[in-house]
A and B are shown apart, each in its own frame.
Chain A
Amino acid sequence: MEYLGLSLALFGAACASALAGIGSAIGIGIAGESAAGVMTEDPNKFGSCLILQALPGTQGIYGLLITFFVLNQLNMLGGGAPAMPTWNQGLQIFAACLPIAIVGFISAIYQGKTSAASIQMISKKPEAMGKAIILPAMVETYAVLALLTSILMLMGVQVA
């Protein structure tokens, strides 16, 4: 049982990267389909389409960020022996990973859908690029807040 805390913490770290990453992959995929459709009509829109497609990618990065945060806390990055959290501390780290894992997963998908719609919008109205970028960014707000929550929670957990 002495490894339970470490395992729980690693499980949380894995969830953060994996779920947020899956969400981003789906979101970028949805936006990419839309972008490819628009570019068959007008290849010159590649630049603006790419920016809009990239927007749902940040959740995956936020997830990665939390994972590294946890690994760092567990002293698993610099070599040497990992820290040994108690199972309680491990569970706390796991809980701290949940906001970005869950919110990242779901918000990236919805952000992808909004990006796809924005891409359709600029295919008809290229001058509306500013508005087209803002709409997906509205969704991302909640991923940013979840990231913040995860970070603040992690900073509160003391690992022996």
Chain B
Amino acid sequence: MGVAKLKKAELYYHKSVHEEIAAALQDSGVCQIINAQEAEGGTRPSDIEARLAESEERLADVRYLMRALTPHFNDPVPSLDRMLGEKPVMSMSELSQLAHDTDLSGAAQKVRGLEHELGEVRLELSQARANQALLANYSFFPYELAVITEGTRVLAGAAGVVKSEQLEAFKNALNNFAKDTEVFFSNVSAKTPEVYVVVLYSRDKASQVLDACVKNGMSMAEVPAEFKGSLGEEKAKNAELINKLEAKDAELVNNMKKLADEYMPNVQKLSDYWTSLVSRWQALSESGETESVLYTKFWLPAKETERVRGKIEAISPNVALSFADPEDGEEPPTMLTNGNLVRPFNILTELYSPPKYKGIDPTPLLAPFFFVFFGMCLGDAGYAIVMGAAIYWLFKKYKRIPLGIKDFVTLFAFSAVSTFIYGIISGSFFGNFIDAFLPFLIPVKNAFMLVDPMTNPMQVLGISLLLGVVHLMFGLLISAYEKLKENNYFDAIGADISWFLLIVGLCLFGTGAGGMLPAAFGFIGKWMAIIGAVIIFVYSAWTKEGNIFSKIISGFLALYGSTSYLGDILSYSRLLALGFGSAVIGMIINLLGGMAANIPYVGWLIGIVVVAGGHLFSVLINLLGAFVHPLRLQYVEFFGKFYTGGGEPFTPLKNSEEFVSVKA
């Protein structure tokens, strides 16, 4: 339980077996390779460098193929199934054989060629479509387009656009050249913002006419030189071209689909293979070398040492492997090990930040609180049953769920248990479903009810705040324990135990004075609080540097810090608010369902839809809140008292398993 003991391994091996050794280290999945080179920025061993370069090249091909083919590929395996472990099982040697048999660069070249061709067709197609639009705009022009694109001996033409508001000025300007020009306009209506224009002019007046056109707001349009015939002819020709290009495009896309179907299944598998190899050689490139020997250093869990030794020594007798405990100055990475009951909660610690190697693992400490808080926030037996059923179905359908996801789902399974329990004792089953629709069950429900947030929320608020005090004080005691372990009595008493005395004392005093506990507790509480406050004052004044006044001010400021504890404790009122929230939302849904059921004839059907759909929505939205808020209480209120994390997670070299699961 807690942080796993790690060993630092040093491995010396002959270069002739380095590939097998590297594969064995990766297959074991428990070795985090660290830099073995003495000097900073040392060079990579040349054998490994060569392997790395080759693997990266292959991986680049794989990545290219994935990127180019994925949009054309109908993946037969839904990605959710894949995530939940439904993927082909292969060994690394099978994958290596597949890599050997598959001509990736050939495939990449083929796809690249096709992609290039497709790009060209699409470019032509967009050009042709633009031309079609252009031709449509000038359909008012009666003559052959050659007049514009080539002109005759005496005549030339220009096509363009004039804004409607400049049209009058434009016409007037061209009237000056009435003898030398002929002008055609597209239909003008009040709505058209611009007017398409063709101007024919005699060549000897060309510069004056064009000058006048441009000055009066005509912007020239480029008519492609290949258009020579009449507009009708050219349009038909162009339309035919578009049809041809579209057919070509469809054909190429179809070819691409065929290639995708042919290559993708293997490319996906090889993606895992080459990703594994790149990470393998990248990790091992930190090895050192002599003329014929390579040496690699890595961390591994202490309990795996013999298994790894067996694997490595089976490869060659010419290896030297030794294990050592971490030295004092070293910071090994952190691997959390917890029993089956606590392991799912590891995720919560890892989401925050894993502890340092020599630090305390907060997972078993936060697990029971998270369990209870989640239950109180969701707090509905019906919702717990929905969660449980979903999780049961998931585990039934998917037998090979990867461990990380399995733990996460298990976390929710645990949470469903606490939700169920709290739902029973607070009398909530799909909100007030029993009261609304199954009145004959009310006595059964009431028999188990211990608290009633709906009619007596103050009671649950009190429980919430009390849990908050327990949680916070537990955090303080852990902090004190850690300091005591280092024989730091001064800080343990001054910074942690003092606050414990003050807060617990105040609680006892308050409840004693309020008559909830015998008066003796009030008396004890009063003196605990006073002693705590004095210690806080003295501790703060003692540790503050400076003259007597700044010491006294510092002491008072420290006592003022009690407001932050007040804030922390009140923060736990969210346990009531969220639990209350899901109960009331459930009640609203039942109410709406009941109202819908009163509609004649189809009412019962609508009612069922409203109730089922509404509760499903409610489960999802409240699940989010019930996960996030208890987590916040752990991270902010609880961790704030003793835990900073700051460790490096243990990341062993593993085989990539995105598309296949690699069997040992």
Contacts and interface: CB of A to CB of B under 8 A. Distances in A.
Interface string B457-478: 1100100000000000000000
Nearest to A51: B624
Interface in A80-106: none
Contacts of B628: 55, 133-134, 137
Given A65-B581, A148-B577, A130 B352 contact: yes
Contacts of B588: 64-65, 68
A18 B440 CA distance: 38
B621 A61 contact: yes
B621 A57 contact: yes
B624 A54 contact: yes
Contacts of A131: 351-352
A130 B351 contact: yes
A147 B581 contact: yes
Contacts of B3: none
Contact of A61 (B352, B571, B580, B585): B585
Contact of A77 (B352, B461, B581, B591): B591
Contacts of B578: 144
Contacts of A51: 624
A58 B631 CA distance: 17
A134 B632 contact: yes
Contacts of A129: 351
B581 A62 contact: yes
Contacts, number: 74
B584 A134 contact: no
A70 to B, nearest CB: 12
Contact of A148 (B576, B629, B636): B576
B457 A141 contact: no
Nearest to A147: B577
Nearest to B458: A152
Contact of A141 (B350, B351, B571, B595): B571
B631 A133 contact: yes
B577 A151 contact: yes
A147 B570 CA distance: 13
Contacts of B141: none
B149 to A, nearest CB: 42
A47 to B, nearest CB: 10
A68 B584 contact: yes
A39 interface: no
Interface string B552-590: 000000000000000000110110111011001101100
Contact of A151 (B457, B570, B595, B631): B457
Contacts of B585: 61, 64-65
Contact of A155 (B350, B457, B621): B457
Contacts of B574: 141, 144-145, 148
A140 B588 CA distance: 23
Contacts of A137: 628-629, 631-632
A78 B624 CA distance: 30
B573 A145 contact: yes
B1 to A, nearest CB: 22
10 contacts: A61-B585, A64-B585, A65-B585, A78-B591, A130-B631, A144-B577, A145-B573, A145-B574, A147-B581, A151-B457
Given A58-B625, A78-B591, 18 more contacts: A55-B624, A62-B581, A64-B585, A65-B584, A65-B588, A130-B348, A130-B351, A130-B352, A131-B352, A133-B631, A134-B631, A137-B631, A138-B636, A147-B577, A147-B581, A148-B461, A151-B457, A155-B457
Q: Which 6 residue pairs across A and B have the least CB separation, nearest first?
A: A130-B351, A144-B574, A148-B577, A137-B632, A144-B577, A137-B628
